[in-house]
Amino acid sequence: MTALELITLLSQAIYVVIFLFVGVRYLRAPTPAHLDMTVFFGILAFVVVEQRIATALGIVPPEWFTDTVIAAVIALPYILLRLVDDFTAVPRGVKRGAELLLIASIASAYVLPGPTLPPLYVLLIVGYIAGLSFYCGFRFFRAGLRAQGVTKRRMQAISLGTVLFALDILAAGIGGQMSEPWKTLLAAIGQVLGLAAAVSWFLGFAPPPILRRAWQAPALRQFLARAANLPRLPTTRDIVSELERGAAAATGSEARIGVWDDDILKIRFWPPSGEPTDVEPGRYFSGRAFEQQKTLFSAQPARDDPEAADTYRSANVGAIIATPITAGEKRLGVLVLYAVRPPIFAVSDAELSQLLADQAAVVLESRALIDHAARVRAREEATRLKEDFLSAAAHDLKTPLTTVVAQAQFLERKATRDPSAPSDLPGLQRIVREAQRLSALVTDLLDAARMEQGRLTSDREPVDLGALVSAVASRQRAGAHTVEVDVKGAVVGNYDGRRIEQLLENLIENANKYSPNATPVSVGVWQQDGEARIAVQDRGIGIPASDLPRIFERFSRASNVDDRRFHGMGLGLYICRGIVEEHGGRIWAESEIGKGSTFHVALPLSEERRLN
């Protein structure tokens, strides 16, 4: 056997293999595209096998048979055109023209007497087959440019195969009409081209799984790269739209993801705009794929799902692949891919869809786990806070309460023993002081609870901060500390006066409380950058830098305060922050341990003040 014969044998064997492959696929998924492929390679395989048998047995077939074989070969590029049409739209004019030429060519093949056909006729037929094949090759190439992933690669391979086939036909047709040595040379070139076309078509129409996976890899990698960070997006809806974008980019089609909602027992889809739509399991393609837990493909959605036929028609949906998104036993949702035309390669598209759905399952499942962990953490946190709260509140209420009870019992015993004795004023004053502390603690607790609901402050009215600071400071002067006030001009804003007073009292009381050496405390009020500013400065114990960020949190106390020396629950600054923030302002502290602290407050000024 010569090398050329081997090449011919090889290409012919490939045609037969492709025919068997696409034939089986057609039986499994009888779509128009699969039918066209089967017919195309069926003709090629038939011609090849028929010739081999005839040569081997030395049979000369009757003329009608040869004519039929020729007619079938002439029909090949037309079937290719139909394949192009299965994937993209071929203009009507081109289709009708190709059909007319086809009928004319086939009719003439029967009419003209055999066995040798007139050279002009042969050249015309060759021109028709090659021309139409070139056109198809070009259209496949264009479709490949628009497609993504595996489909793109397969389109490219088919486009190449089709162009090589056209060249093969040209070489064979022209060579047949020439004399030696051109005849042999062109025949040899034709055979090599034929083999190259067969290999390209094989890769395009029946790629081995390993190649398919390699072609899928880039699309998947891209999808995975995006998927890695998705579970941390703020909402499931954000994740779903990102997944949809990724799936659309990987498949070159429209992608929608429905997420199973356990509360309503439906699959929920969020369209890019508008209200979500809910689908019951078993309804439409999405519901059916979800219920049956298998990928569904339809090249005629309007026929296969009459209930939604109008929607498919108006949205120009020509093909659907619906794949369940499932993690282990857990049914999470469904991925639906929509295309204007049925993808030629429904099987590999369904494979890709399955891979994407698996990835989506991982992302959605991680999201569910993160949500679950957050809920558990929140519950633990709430429990911890409640425990903290109870122990802090119980502890802080207990101390003054013990004093009040003990002092009151002591006075009671004294009065019982000697009813005429003069009243014990210092003892009564202690009861009053401790009862006031108790009352202040309970007020703080109530305020903290109000703050949780964001309703700490109420009606606003113009308040002059300078006047308010002076009033609060003069009340505080009674203590061991001197409070210096420095007010720069009128600083007026619309505030809840009572709460701002509470804020100032808290800050000045803290400054006094945490400055045991009776050092002076100064309070400044001024305007800066269109804001009202207050600063309360002391030269007390200071706050460790590591504690500064959290002293405004609930029940938070700095590590340098000794509970026995400085009473407190750690609610004062928390309430201060609530008051300031409800007014749209900011509060922060600067401090140096052992040197003192400054608490800053910035509040919005009233409108007319800010303009000045």
Q: Which stretch binds ligand ADP (CB under 6 A): 67-75, 99-107, 335-343, 569-577?
A: 569-577
Interface segment toward ligand ADP; rule CB under 6 A; list 84-92, 93-101, 118-126, 554-562: 554-562
The enclosing H or E element of 191 equals: helix 182-205
Nearest-CB residue for ligand ADP: 568
Tell me if 206 contacts ligand ADP by CB under 6 A: no
Beta-carbon contacts of 495 under 8 Å, excluding residues fewer than 6 positions away, are: 457, 460, 461, 463, 583, 603
Kindly report the three-state secondary structure assignment for every residue of 466-502. Answer: HHHHHHHHHHHCCCCCCEEEEECCCCEEEECHHHHHH
**Are 256 and 327 contacting, i.e. CB atoms less than 8 angstroms apart?**
no
Is residue 597 a contact point for ligand ADP (CB under 6 A)?
yes
Taking contact as CB under 6 A, which single stretch among the options 114-122, 189-197, 448-456, 571-579 is the one that binds ligand ADP?
Answer: 571-579
Residue type, 583: H
Least separation in angstroms between residue 431's CB and ligand ADP is 22
568 binds ligand ADP (CB under 6 A): yes
**Based on CB atoms, which residue is closest to ligand ADP, 356 or 571?**
571
From first CA to last CA, the distance across the chain in angstroms is 103
Query: From the CB of residue 490, how many other CB atoms can be counted at a distance below 10 Å?
Result: 12
Min CB(468)–ligand ADP separation in Å: 19
Peptide bond preceding 234: is omega within 30 degrees of 0, i.e. cis?
no
Phi-psi region of 222 (alpha: psi -120 to 50; beta: other; left: phi over 0): alpha
**CB burial of residue 552 (10 Å; 0-12, 13-18, 19+):** buried
What is the Cα–Cα distance from 459 to 27, expressed in whole angstroms? 78
The site for ligand ADP, by CB under 6 A, has a size of 21
Instruction: Output 27 or 545, the one with its CB closest to ligand ADP.
Output: 545
Q: Which stretch binds ligand ADP (CB under 6 A): 121-129, 265-273, 474-482, 552-560?
A: 552-560
Q: Are 549 and 508 in contact (CB under 8 A)?
A: no
List all residues 6 or more positions away from 17 whose beta carbon is below 8 Å from its beta carbon.
202, 206
Residue 199 binding ligand ADP, by CB under 6 A? no
CB atoms within 10 A of CB 182: 12
Nearer to ligand ADP, 258 or 568 (CB): 568
Output the six-digit token pair for 246. Answer: 């990724």
Question: What residues contact residue 184 under an 8 Å CB cut-off, 6+ apart?
Answer: none
Among 301, 333, 342, 540, binds ligand ADP (CB under 6 A): 540
Of 266 and 481, which CB lies nearer to ligand ADP in the complex structure? 481
Q: How far apart are CA 75 and CA 106, in angstroms?
A: 8
- Which CB sits closer to ligand ADP, 220 or 469? 469
Site for ligand ADP in 497-536 (CB under 6 A): 510-511, 514
Residues 570, 578, 580, 605: which binds ligand ADP (CB under 6 A)? 570
Tell me if 573 contacts ligand ADP by CB under 6 A. Answer: yes
Write out the two tokens for 359: 């990835």
Q: Which of 83, 143, 569, 601 binds ligand ADP (CB under 6 A)?
A: 569
Token match 């901060």: residue?
465
Work out whether 173 is an interface residue with ligand ADP (CB under 6 A). Answer: no
Residue 31 binds to ligand ADP (criterion: CB under 6 A): no
Shortest Cβ 235–ligand ADP spacing (Å)? 34
Residue of 85, 305, 496, 538 interacting with ligand ADP (CB under 6 A)? 538
For ligand ADP, the closer CB: 96 or 550: 550
| DSSP-derived secondary structure for 99-120 | HHHHHHHHHHHHHS-SSSPPHH
Residue 572 lies near ligand ADP (rule: CB under 6 A): yes
- Per-residue contact flags (x/-) with ligand ADP for residues 273 to 312, judged by CB under 6 A: ----------------------------------------
Asked whether 194 and 5 are in contact (CB, 8 A), the reply is no
Both tokens assigned to 239: 């994740």
Select 59 or 394, whichever has its Cβ closest to ligand ADP: 394
CB of 568 to ligand ADP, least distance (A): 2
The nearest distance, CB 570 to ligand ADP, in angstroms, is 4
* By CB under 6 A, residue 400 contacts ligand ADP: no
437 is a contact residue toward ligand ADP (CB under 6 A): no
For residue 473, the one-letter residue type is A
Helices (H) then strands (E): counts for the chain: 18, 13
In the complex, what is the shortest distance from the CB of residue 442 to ligand ADP, in angstroms, rounded to a whole number?
Answer: 14
Q: Which lies closer to ligand ADP via its Cβ, residue 28 or residue 565?
A: 565
Q: How far is the CB of 540 from ligand ADP (least distance, A)?
A: 5
Binds ligand ADP (CB under 6 A): choice among 266, 557, 583, 609: 557
368 is a contact residue toward ligand ADP (CB under 6 A): no
Can you give the length of the chain in residues?
612
Contact call for residue 231 and ligand ADP (CB under 6 A): no
Distance CA 344, CA 299 (A): 10
CB nearer ligand ADP, residue 236 or residue 598: 598
Shortest separation between residue 264's beta carbon and ligand ADP, angstroms: 45
Output 51 or 439, the one with its CB closest to ligand ADP: 439
Which one, of 243, 219, 268, lies nearest residue 361 by Cα? 243
95 vs 68: CA distance, rounded Å: 22
Helices 149-176, 346-417: axis angle to 10 degrees equals 170
Tell me if residue 326 falls in helix, strand or coil.
Answer: strand
Q: Considering the rule CB under 6 A, would residue 440 count as an interface residue with ligand ADP?
A: no
Among 80, 456, 558, 587, binds ligand ADP (CB under 6 A): 558
Task: Indicate whether 537 belongs to the interface with ligand ADP (CB under 6 A).
Answer: no
Q: How far apart are CA 521 and CA 596, in angstroms?
A: 10
Comparison of 236 and 556: residue with beta carbon closer to ligand ADP: 556
- Give least dist CB 464 to ligand ADP, A: 25
Largest CA distance in the chain: 149
Measured from the CB atom, is 406 or 442 closer to ligand ADP? 442
CB of 399 to ligand ADP, least distance (A): 13
| C-alpha to C-alpha distance for 187 and 215, rounded to whole angstroms | 34
Q: Count other Cβ atoms within 10 Å, centred on residue 208.
A: 11
Residues that bind ligand ADP (CB under 6 A): 510-511, 514, 538, 540-543, 551, 556-558, 561, 568-574, 597
